[in-house]
Amino acid sequence: MRKLFLPLAVLFLLSQCARQQEPVQLPAENKPAVSTSKPAAPMPRIRVMEATEDLQFMPAELCYLDEEVPGIKVDLRYCGYDNFVGRPIDGYTTGTRAILRRDAAECLKRAQHELNAQGLGLLVWDAYRPHRAMKDFYAWSRTDEAAMKHKYYPNITKQGIYDGKYIRRTSEHSLGVAVDVTIINLATGRELDMGTGFDFLDPSSATRFTGITPEQHANRMLLRNTMNRAGMRNYKREWWHYFLKNRGNCTRYDFPLCDTLLPQP
């Protein structure tokens, strides 16, 4: 019996040694993570240009849109009374020419060229927007005045305009990189039917809203695809609003519109 016990004991000890030499597997959550993602790109910086009333020269990075895009039509709604506030907006009372950053204007030039080949063209309702206009919008939203509610925001309150993110306290327009735009038929001068009008602040103005006709949807997609190919991106809540895809560092401007700014010397 003792002769049998001794070999068994030796085998037992050898098996224990072998088990101790097996590598220990750490649970997956305890393994050090190896990051494969690229470092995040630095956020574009926004410089604020001091407000000025006596600007004589166009900032070098900006331009008059009608000088850069042949044949483009412009009707700046905030210069007049046909807008959701119902009066000219602060910053728009001294000029009617659209201003835009040069790289954004180049995008519109490409879009205009593509549409012209189809007998169509662009109509711009807003481009550069002085920051003071955003302050004017907000001050108006705190009043009881609602003369244009029936036409522009019949289904929401003034606070709903901000809650629904139709307007914010700041805007890409003030950076000179955004436009409100539609398509017109060059032969007739008429706008293509987009299902709602400009600045109709309602879910039906969302670019991919489904409760419109096939023709209206096709027109919205024509605008979206054309602008996208040209380098502009759509704001999904407003079929008319487009902004520069790659804007880089920006300046927020607040000078009022002026039709006679001179080129930089």
Of 22, 29, 106, 238, the active-site residue reads 238
CB atoms within 10 A of CB 48: 12
Beta bridge partners of 73: 123
C-alpha span between 131 and 91 (Å, rounded): 8
Please, are residues 209 and 201 in contact by the beta-carbon 8 Å criterion?
no
| Sign (positive or negative) of CA dihedral 252, 254, 256, 260 | negative
What is the rounded distance in angstroms from the CA atom of residue 201 to the CA atom of residue 224? Answer: 19
Structure tokens at 115: 């549409």
Verify whether residue 238 is a known catalytic residue.
Answer: yes
Task: Name the token pair of 130.
Answer: 């002085």
Q: Which of 96, 71, 74, 105 has its CA nearest to residue 186?
A: 71
Element (H, E) at 67: helix 65-68
Catalytic residues: 238
